[in-house]
Amino acid sequence: MSVISELIRTEADGTISFGDYTLASKTKKENFEHGADKYKVKTFREITKLECNDMFVYESVPGTAVSGLDITENEVSFKVEGPEDAEITLGLCDSTEYEVFINNENAGTMKTNLGGKLTLSVELGAEEPTAVRIVKK
């Protein structure tokens, strides 16, 4: 399993990777610039959280490492790793239906709440990262 030792970084393909679930205490990095946006990440073994321009983007309990996070108007995709299963919450559009895919298998349709949050559980702990894709219906 690979953690992001610098806590957050831009990948060659323009996506971002973040999170280090091996840390014993909460560590954060603020004002990370990616495009025109500023990101803040907080991460350790119990939680990983990402904000963009002070807006909620991602949270996992327990902590995880995320690679290749790509956010477009209609889709969010990333790969996630961690030592055990995680509950992941994403900040999306309010009261909107999304199709959820985990490792390219359709996990069903989910609707965000009034705050735009969508929560899903992901089985982790395997050798390979788990691919997650959320598509607006």
- Give tens-digit pLDDT for 19-58: 999 999 999 999 999 999 999 999 999 999 999 999 999 9
Q: Where are the domains positioned within the chain? A: 1-69
Give yes or no for a contact between 67 and 11, defined as CB atoms under 8 angstroms apart: yes
CA dihedral of 110, 133, 119, 108, whole degrees rounded to 10? 30
pTM here is 0.95
Q: Which of 2-6, 43-47, 51-55, 59-63 has the lowest mean pLDDT?
A: 2-6
Given strand 75-81, what is the order of strands in its sheet?
Answer: 8-10, 16-18, 65-71, 75-81, 130-136, 97-102, 105-111
